[in-house]
Amino acid sequence: MSTTHFVSGTWNWKAVGLLATGLLLCVAPASAHRLEKHFTVEPRAVITIHNPNGKIIVKAWTKHEVMVIANHVSDKVEVDAEQTGNRVDLRTQQLADSVAPDDLRADYDVSVPEDAELQIHDDSGEVSVANGLGDMNVETVSAGVALEDAAGYLTIKTVGGSFQCVRCAGRLEVSSISGSFRLLDLRSYHVRAQTSTGNILFDGEFLPNGIYRLKNYSGVIEVRFSPGDSFDLNATSLKGPVNNEAKLTPPAHPQHFSSKFGYALGTFNAGRAKVELTSFDGTINIRKRN
Amino acid sequence: MATIGCKDFPNYLERWMEGDRHPDALAHVRDCPRCRSLVEDLKMIQAAAQDWGRAESEPPAHLWNSLRAQLAQEGLIHQQSKRRGWFPGWFPALPRPALAGAYLAAVIAVAFGLSGPVNQRINRARWLEGTQSSTTPLRAQFASAEMNATPPSVPDSNPTVTASLHNNLAIVDNYIALCEKSVSEEPENELARDYLFDAYHQKADLLAQLSERGGYGR
């Protein structure tokens, strides 16, 4: 590795000092504009973030305070952070008519109370949220969205951005056109996921009385189940195959399907959750979890 | 046990959306997943429309008129001269010309959602005719929306995002073509019709986003 080589080489401390200074000078413009602000808020505060391009990282903490650290390089944009009542609005403002895409970039690192409601809009870049218990609405165009340990009513909408949710709970509604979804270790009682050309992977619990609707146009929908799970399954692919490893009890009133359909229909164990998987010409896999 | 069927449910729908739930309609919605799903979708559109309306005013009156005329012509609702129903309640709330796509989404949702159950018992030719009569005006409105949109007055500050929107619009257009083919081959196939509805909905949404960015025509 270059670091090891550097340390064990013939460089002396003076050279190291000069190089470090040089590096600092190079790095300095990358954080040329740094904003740090703190806002004290009441329970269930609302935080809005509107950013055309860049990384947004939100973490929940136990304080009743919102801490914002925003960095941007260009002076053609600025970051506004304002509090109105129990709402904190963060916005990247364009200051010139003509701004190059890189100049639009702003990165946010935001800490919020656990019960805060989040409304995030980020066209490109990425969005990452961890540990939030409040409701959340995220909209992006190409930015990917990653949630971890989130709860509440989660509404995610992307055009082409991917979505990953790890250990999420509550109610999840996610839609995209070409983005793929990975829903891992979920404990949600209501999941509605729809993408056109993306893949959907669901590897989570089917809670009693839960409803799980996964739909795509093409691509692969894969659902993993454990022997102890309990669900009613209705999986249909209009023009694609359905590969099912779950031993299902057929419904009491068989339904008619066109022969073109790939489908799997029936009850697994007591059928406590409802699972609907639908694809137009994609593949649906219902796999036993290893 | 429900005493009405899918065919009758649209007669109760307007009052339903105003909060007047007839016991027969309640029983039917409880038993019928499709009509229940329709009601849920309409509620979502209603809520979204009300949200959009908070900031601005001036609805496109012609849109409501054409929608209502179309539904009446198809026998899905009855024309009522002075009564103010739930649809007008939405559309005054619908504001921004830039959200033309969203208006279309509402139109599509209603046209498709209602045409499904009503036409279920009709033969294949009628299915096809019903679908075409629903989609033809929508296609025309999409084309008009795309043609009437003005090019941006300022340079696009995020061409990557605009390109992504256009790429996804191409995906949806392809998806619409395939769904239309599928529906024309099997007009009675509800799943294919649902996919076509979804595709139109997505196109409307993308057009609205492009319109807001001034990104048409590129």
Q: Residue B81, Cβ neighbours under 10 Å: how many?
A: 4
CA–CA separation, B199 and B69 (whole Å): 24
**Kind and range of the H or E element at A56?**
strand A46-61
Tell which A residues from 126 to 165 touch B, by Cβ distance under 8 Å. Answer: 141-142, 159-160
Q: Are B167 and A278 a contacting pair at CB < 8 A?
A: no
Specify burial of residue A102 (Cβ count, 10 A radius: 0-12, 13-18, 19+).
exposed
Angle, CA of A178, A183 and A189, to the nearest 5°: 120
pTM value is 0.71
Contacts of A159 in chain B (CB under 8 A): 164-165, 168, 206, 209
The Cα of A115 is separated from the nearest Cα of chain B by a number of Å equal to: 23
Cα separations in angstroms, A250 against A215, A268, A271: 22, 9, 11
Cα separations in angstroms, A84 against A15, A67, A81, A87, A89: 51, 15, 10, 5, 8
The Cα of A121 is separated from the nearest Cα of chain B by a number of Å equal to: 13
**Kind and range of the H or E element at A187?**
strand A187-195
Mutate to test the interface with B, among A142, A256, A276 (most CBs of B within 10 A): A142
Q: Are A196 and B172 a contacting pair at CB < 8 A?
A: yes
Q: Are A97 and B154 a contacting pair at CB < 8 A?
A: yes
pLDDT at B208: 85
Note the helical H segments in B74-189. Answer: 86-90, 100-119, 124-148, 159-185
User: What does the pLDDT look like over A110-161, one tens digit per residue?
Assistant: 999 999 999 999 999 999 999 999 999 999 999 999 999 999 999 999 999 9
User: Using an 8 Å Cβ cutoff, are B102 and B205 in contact?
Assistant: yes
Do strands A46-61 and A87-94 pair parallel, antiparallel, or not at all (unpaired)? parallel
Tell which A residues from 235 to 254 touch B, by Cβ distance under 8 Å. Answer: 236, 238-239
Report residue B150 as tokens: 């003005």
Cα separations in angstroms, B24 against B11, B31, B114: 11, 11, 18
pLDDT of residue A25 exceeding 80, the answer is no
Percentage of chain A beyond pLDDT 90 is 79
Cα atoms in the 13 Å half-sphere on the side-chain side of A187: 7
pLDDT at A231: 97
User: What does the pLDDT look like over A28-38, one tens digit per residue?
Assistant: 444 589 999 99
Residue type, B182: S
Using CA atoms in the order B66, B72, B74, B77, what is the torsion angle rounded to 10 degrees?
130
The Cα of A167 is separated from the nearest Cα of chain B by a number of Å equal to: 27
Residue type, A103: D
Among B132, B116, B54, smallest CA distance to B90 is for B54
CA–CA separation, B130 and B141 (whole Å): 18
Q: Are B168 and A159 a contacting pair at CB < 8 A?
A: yes
Residue among B158, B168, B191 minimizing CB distance to A160: B168
Q: Are A236 and B178 a contacting pair at CB < 8 A?
A: no
Mean pLDDT value of segment A245-271: 82
Length of chain A: 290
CA–CA separation, A58 and A56 (whole Å): 6
pLDDT string in tens for chain B (218-residue length): 557 887 787 778 777 877 788 888 888 888 887 778 777 777 766 666 555 444 444 445 555 565 556 555 555 455 444 343 333 334 333 444 444 555 565 555 555 554 554 444 445 666 666 666 666 666 666 666 666 554 554 456 788 898 999 999 999 999 999 998 998 888 888 888 889 988 988 988 888 888 777 644 44
User: Using an 8 Å Cβ cutoff, are A198 and A221 in contact?
Assistant: no
The Cα of A279 is separated from the nearest Cα of chain B by a number of Å equal to: 9
CA–CA separation, A172 and A168 (whole Å): 8
Q: Residue B105, Cβ neighbours under 10 Å: how many?
A: 23
Do strands A106-113 and A65-72 pair parallel, antiparallel, or not at all (unpaired)? antiparallel
Q: Are B171 and A196 a contacting pair at CB < 8 A?
A: yes
Length of chain B: 218
Dihedral sign, Cα of residue A237, residue B185, residue A180, residue B98: negative
